[in-house]
Amino acid sequence: MKKKIREKKHIERLNLNEEKKTEKMLKIKQLLFSLKEFKESEKIAFYAGIEGELETIEMIKESLKTGKKIFLPVTDFEKKEMHLSEILSMEDLQEKQISNGKKLLEPVNKKIAGEKEIELIVVPLVAFDRACHRIGYGKGFYDRFLKKIEKNVTTIGLAFSEQETKKIPTEEHDIALKKIITEKEIIEC
């Protein structure tokens, strides 16, 4: 079931009109930056979007300019682990080749930040429901990582409204987010 939802929503996301995507991303950024939790957080983990994911590069740049400490994932695909590393500027990111010719941006500095350092985590997703459950790419990187963080850390998924589905089937290892932001609304769970 998850696989079917993932495939359907992934294709729908890839087929979104680029101009509309840009407009929607701007609205999502405005909603994220307006959140009390975002304004009050000094240490924020972002992801760098790949393959149609909601792009966060402008959010990262603006957050760096305002003096926030920004962290991005460093992934180990062999061990299926993810850690966070701080970046001081966009020059601290490099492309990393992953499967099927895909590339992602990761910090050059692989110095691992402690999970307790992070106050807010922006999480990628392929699909979501109103209970803030998410489907990612199916490798479990974020579910394993989110299990290690403190319960008071704000976890926020960014998505286009088209990525919503009625109900995400959940398993024991799945971790619900605290909020989902689309171009239309902030869903609180």
pLDDT of residue 100: 66
* Structural contact between residues 148 and 179, judged by C-beta atoms closer than 8 angstroms: no
Residue 52 — very low, low, confident or very high, per pLDDT cuts 50/70/90?
A: low
**Which of the listed ranges 29-43, 66-80, 98-112, 131-145 does the model predict with the highest average pLDDT?**
29-43
pLDDT of residue 51: 66
Question: What is the C-alpha separation between 84 and 2, in angstroms, rounded?
Answer: 27
Is the whole model's pTM more than 0.85, yes or no? yes
Residues whose CB is less than 8 angstroms from the CB of residue 122 and which lie 6 or more positions away in sequence, other chains included = 32, 44, 45, 46, 47, 56, 59, 156, 157, 158
Task: Convert the pLDDT of each residue in 128-178 to its tens digit.
Answer: 999 999 988 767 788 888 888 888 899 999 999 999 999 988 888 778 999
Residues whose CB is less than 8 angstroms from the CB of residue 30 and which lie 6 or more positions away in sequence, other chains included = none
> How much of the chain exceeds pLDDT 70, in percent?
89
More confident residue, 174 or 100: 174
Give the three-state DSSP class for 113. strand
Question: What is the C-alpha separation between 110 and 174, in angstroms, rounded?
Answer: 27
DSSP string, 12-47: HHHTS-HHHHHHHHHHHHHHHHHSHHHHH-SEEE--
49 has a pLDDT exceeding 70: yes
- Tracing tokens 């489907």 back to the chain, one arrives at 135
Residue 82 — very low, low, confident or very high, per pLDDT cuts 50/70/90?
A: confident
* Structural contact between residues 71 and 84, judged by C-beta atoms closer than 8 angstroms: yes
Give the three-state DSSP class for 51. coil
Q: Among candidates 45, 47, 44, 42, which has minimal Cα distance to 106?
A: 47
pLDDT of residue 59: 96
Residues whose CB is less than 8 angstroms from the CB of residue 25 and which lie 6 or more positions away in sequence, other chains included = 54, 55, 58, 183
Superfamily assignment of 2-188 in CATH?
NagB/RpiA/CoA transferase-like (3.40.50.10420)
Mapped to the 3 state alphabet, what secondary structure does 116-185 carry? HHCCEEEECCCEECCCCCEECCCCCHHHHHHHHCCCCCEEEEECCHHHECCCCCCCCCCCCCCEEECCCC
pLDDT of residue 36: 97
Q: Can you give the residue ranges of every domain in the chain?
A: 2-188
More confident residue, 66 or 117: 66
The overall average pLDDT reported for the chain is: 87
pLDDT of residue 178: 97
